[in-house]
């Protein structure tokens, strides 16, 4: 049910925007010496890089170390952090980055029969093309970007705007030297298992009791996605240099630059297009992003109550934003310290360990 699963991908800020690269794990991970880092003049950093420092959440002598990740990283970098491995080695629990799992309440044959309908839901109704449903100036911009990043793919012309936008965005990232942060998250999972810890998934399971009804609801009241489509074009045309700068800042641990650079918010427009559509209200998933965040917070509070030390991965937006998960924990009485704050503490107080 690829089409329905894509809803979750968009709601989670296109976390899997490019093909993921399998992680390699070293039992003696150390930050790379400066000589191994090459800065391309206007593109991106390459080499073995440590990423940012860790955020510390604490209460009652218990600590949760948090690694913030961003959706896109430089294609030529390899991540290796001795600080992360040390924190995981001293932890009793490792919580994976939040996501959504889609569960269809039907048997194998039911899923098989649903597949043609699901693929059909990806297309515009009544055989319309993007030229039919988009404003003429927006379609002209799309045509230029399509030639640049997708070539002669005529089949995509019949897709709904929101799906066409996602495919274009993925290819634009790939061809501009950016890839997903999957290597980082995969490496965290591998390190946890290497130290005898079974990682805890923080995915929220969304169960569709009536998959056929879900497809019919989408076909009848799915998002037109024109606003999402236009904002995606804006992002590809204007935001890629800033995305490179954010990716470089994450790779080199430059927290100050991450705070100063504006985050790319086109994903929120796409998420709003989905959660505000009639089908989302019918299926009860209009508040899915808030539900996903609440689920992660519940796991984090549980780890802090149970274990002397634990570790978690969280999107950087949830780490830094005023309405993010760490800000919510701070408002609930937990102590939250940034890497900069920890660096200014005496060495003993800032040490990562049990």
DSSP assignment of 220-267 equals: HH----HHHHHHHHHIIIIIHHHHHHHHHHHHHT-HHHHHHSPP--HH
SS3 state of residue 327: helix
Helix (H) or strand (E) holding 74: strand 72-74
Q: Which residue, 289, 354, 341, is CA-closest to 315?
A: 289
Q: What share of the chain is helix, strand, coil (3-state, %, to 5)?
A: 55, 15, 30
Read off the tokens for 43.
């593109």
Task: Flag residues of the chain having pLDDT under 50.
Answer: 1-43, 105-119, 219-222, 278-279, 348
Start-end of H helices in 57-178: 82-89, 108-121, 130-133, 136-149, 161-175
pLDDT score of 349: 53
pLDDT score of 283: 57
By the 8 A CB rule, do 45 and 73 touch? no
pLDDT score of 11: 36
Place of tokens 């950016």: 178
pLDDT score of 102: 61
Read off the tokens for 183.
């290597």
The CB density around residue 306, as the number of other CB atoms within 10 Å, is 11
Read off the tokens for 210.
């009536």
pLDDT score of 282: 55
pLDDT score of 351: 59
By the 8 A CB rule, do 166 and 231 touch? no
Backbone angles phi, psi at 88, to 5 degrees: -65, -40
pTM for this prediction:
0.75
In degrees to the nearest 10, what's the CA dihedral of 58, 64, 65, 71?
A: -120
By the 8 A CB rule, do 38 and 47 touch? yes
């Amino acid at each position: 049910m690829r089409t329905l699963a894509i809803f979750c991908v968009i709601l989670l800020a296109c976390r899997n925007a490019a093909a993921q690269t399998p992680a390699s794990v070293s039992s003696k991970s150390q930050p790379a010496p400066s000589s191994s880092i090459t800065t391309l003049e206007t593109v991106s950093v390459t080499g073995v890089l440590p990423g940012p420092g860790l955020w510390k959440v604490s209460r009652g002598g218990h600590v949760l170390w948090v690694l913030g990740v961003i959706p896109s990283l430089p294609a030529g970098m390899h991540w290796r952090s001795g600080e992360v491995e040390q924190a995981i080695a001293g932890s009793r629990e490792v919580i994976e980055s939040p996501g959504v799992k889609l569960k269809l309440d039907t048997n194998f044959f039911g899923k098989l029969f649903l597949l043609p309908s699901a693929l059909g839901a990806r297309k515009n109704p009544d055989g319309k093309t993007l030229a039919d449903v988009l404003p003429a100036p927006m379609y002209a911009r799309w045509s230029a970007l399509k030639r640049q990043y997708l070539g002669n793919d005529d089949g995509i012309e019949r897709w709904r705007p929101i799906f066409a936008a996602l495919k274009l965005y993925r290819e634009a990232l790939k061809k501009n030297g950016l890839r997903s942060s999957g290597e980082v998250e995969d490496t965290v999972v591998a390190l946890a298992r290497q130290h005898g810890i079974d990682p805890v998934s923080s995915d929220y399971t969304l169960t569709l009791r009536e998959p056929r009804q879900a497809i019919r609801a989408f076909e009848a009241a799915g998002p037109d996605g024109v606003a999402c489509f236009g904002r995606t074009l804006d992002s590809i045309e204007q935001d890629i240099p800033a995305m490179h700068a954010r990716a470089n800042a994450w790779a080199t641990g430059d927290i100050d630059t991450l705070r100063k650079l504006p985050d790319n918010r086109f994903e929120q427009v796409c998420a709003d297009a989905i959660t505000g559509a009639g089908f989302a209200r019918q299926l009860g998933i209009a508040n899915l992003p808030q539900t996903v965040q609440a689920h992660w917070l519940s796991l984090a509070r549980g780890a802090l109550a149970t274990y002397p030390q634990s570790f978690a991965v969280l999107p950087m937006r949830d780490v830094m934003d005023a309405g993010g998960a760490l800000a919510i924990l701070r408002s609930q009485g937990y102590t939250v310290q940034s890497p900069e704050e920890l660096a200014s503490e005496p060495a003993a107080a800032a040490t990562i360990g049990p």
